[in-house]
Amino acid sequence: MFKTKSLLLILLAGLLSGDLYFVLGLINKPAGPIIQWDAQLGKYIELTKPSKVALNGTFEYDGINNCIVFQKVLATKFEVYVNGVLTASFGDGSGNLWPRALMVRVPKVLLYPERPNRITVVLHGLVGVGLYGKPYLATYEYAIQRVGLIDLFRDKITIAGIGATALIIYLLLIAYQSANEREKRVYLYLAVASAFMIASLVQFTYRESSGSPELYLLFEEFAVTGPVFVLTYLFFAILIISTGNAWLNKKFEYILKTIPVILISVAMFSTSVKYIHIAGTISQIYSLVLMFIILYFIFKHKLIEFYFPVVFLYFTGIQTFYVLATNQTNELTIHYGRFVFLVFVGTATIRKFKDISISHEKLKKENLIDHLTGVYNRKVIDLIPRGGTFVLLDLDGFKVLNDKYGHIFGDSVLKKFAEIVKSHIRSQDYFIRLGGDEFCLIFKSVKENDVLKIINRLYNDCRNVLGIGFSYGYAQFEDFDKAYEEADKKMYEQKIYKYSQNSKKSGL
């Protein structure tokens, strides 16, 4: 059942990304006489300083089609000359004309019906320019219709994506208020990723004028480096959701968070535009690596609720990479993949933790919580589905502490121990007080090898914070009595080994 559902979700993502590519190609397909150019279109021209590029072409006028449709113009200012006369001008040099399609209505008195007409377009840019698609001639009514369709699928949907992402941030902040510590970290990471998603998508919206070249460059810098921030914090969120680890090696975590800061700093504080291109290239490669890492964790830990968005993002990323690498004039789809992925991940995460919270609240109402430590009591065991790993824990030397310092001190140690344990496990797992200083953990979504890693980290934290450790044993959780018996045997053997080691150290 799981494999079937997984394959259906992957197939659905592939089909929808293919449909999106087909529809975008269809609305960008020339619907009239095509202009013939002296140079190949579709190539992004990088600039190292504010410059302009001129492209020349010819077309035949049939007496009917006097409107020119430009499917995509990447420039800060765009001028169109027909037979040597300035016919149209867009932008002022400080904004981004893309992603809107542009339509130029050429006065019929400027056109020659008997011989070829000359057209020259001048693209002004601060970082780079490009003319994409195959500009063609059409009637005014048809040109308006086609430009409107392109704007709907490219510009309006991007604005809708920004709005949806902003809503996700709002929902995440609401969920954050009532979440536990681990869930708060996930919500925080997703909120940060969403904020950078919005910042990077602003460059995809229409702005004939941004007010100043400096402001335009700022948008450009966020556009080329923003995806690294997005994927970095998505990685942290997925890591916690998939493995239960709320932290990495501190040095490694610091490095991962520093990389996008370095990239955007290079782009923002450099004295040459070429560093924006360098930061953009590195960002694309690094983002691709992060995307594959996220893919790995999602598929390894079978987070099926994330299969559709991550596969959809993957297909749109591959399509965009192919178009850019081969200088195709096709539409780019990566920005669709970005906000679809983030919206799905955000809503799925909120729903996931909400379901867990509802389940846990239901258990609390059934008087299944230990009043001293706030963890489950042993009544919950009969309600837990079988499967997973059972770990039995017993604090070392607790009876001596309790007798020496009193029950109040002993209770404070138990409470602190419970807090430490809860900070190391996932919300899907169960932490139960069996009685006295004996506890058990039932891991439902962590493999046995990972369980032992968690227990070792937990042991070190207890030694550092409480000054005492614990002994443990583990077994597969299929039947409680059998699992308890097997784990208790292993725990007893561990206690005997510790006692012998302590005896050797004391010279006994």
Q: What pLDDT does residue 64 have?
A: 93
Q: Which domain holds residue 61?
A: 36-138
Q: Which amino acid is at 134?
A: K
> Which phi and psi (to 5°) does residue 67 adopt?
-115, 135
Q: How far is CA 140 from the centre of its chain?
A: 42
Same domain, 78 and 134: yes
Q: What pLDDT does residue 412 have?
A: 93
Q: What pLDDT does residue 462 have?
A: 92
Question: How many C-beta neighbours within 10 Å does residue 422 have?
Answer: 17
Same domain, 404 and 498: yes
Same domain, 389 and 327: no
- Domain membership of residue 150 (yes or no) is no
Q: How far is CA 286 from the centre of its chain?
A: 14
Q: Which amino acid is at 250?
A: K
Q: What pLDDT does residue 359 have?
A: 64
- Measured CA to CA, the distance from residue 292 to residue 295 in angstroms comes to 5
The CATH number covering residue 477 comes to 3.30.70.270
- Domain membership of residue 73 (yes or no) is yes
Which of 359, 389, 405 marks a domain boundary?
Answer: 359
- Domain membership of residue 341 (yes or no) is yes
How would you write the pLDDT of the chain (508 residues) with one tens digit per residue? Answer: 667 888 888 899 889 888 888 888 888 889 899 999 998 887 788 888 889 999 999 999 999 999 999 998 999 999 999 999 999 999 998 888 887 889 999 999 999 998 999 999 999 999 889 898 899 999 999 999 999 998 888 878 888 888 888 888 888 888 787 676 777 888 889 889 888 888 887 777 767 777 788 888 888 888 888 889 988 998 888 888 877 655 566 778 888 889 999 988 888 887 678 888 888 888 888 988 888 888 888 888 888 878 888 888 888 878 877 776 666 656 778 778 877 877 787 777 777 666 666 666 665 656 788 889 989 998 888 888 888 899 999 999 888 888 888 989 999 999 999 999 998 888 788 999 999 999 999 998 787 778 888 999 999 999 999 888 999 999 999 889 999 999 999 999 998 888 787 666 655 5
- Domain membership of residue 458 (yes or no) is yes
Which of 298, 324, 359 marks a domain boundary?
Answer: 359
- Domain membership of residue 342 (yes or no) is yes
Question: With a threshold of 0.75, does the pTM exceed it?
Answer: no
The CATH number covering residue 268 comes to 1.20.1070
Same domain, 10 and 41: no
What is the pairing mode between strands 51-59 and 36-37?
Answer: antiparallel
- Measured CA to CA, the distance from residue 316 to residue 276 in angstroms comes to 24
Question: How many C-beta neighbours within 10 Å does residue 108 have?
Answer: 11
Q: Do 469 and 396 contact (CB within 8 A), yes or no?
A: yes
Residues in the chain: 508
Q: Which of 451, 456, 458, 388 is nearest to 423 (CA)?
A: 458
Q: How far apart are the first and last CA of the chain?
A: 60
Same domain, 274 and 396: no
Same domain, 480 and 377: yes
The CATH number covering residue 55 comes to 2.60.120.260
As a whole number of Å, the CA-based R_g of the chain is 31
Measure Cα distances from 477 to 123, 326, 368, 392 in Å.
Answer: 68, 54, 19, 11
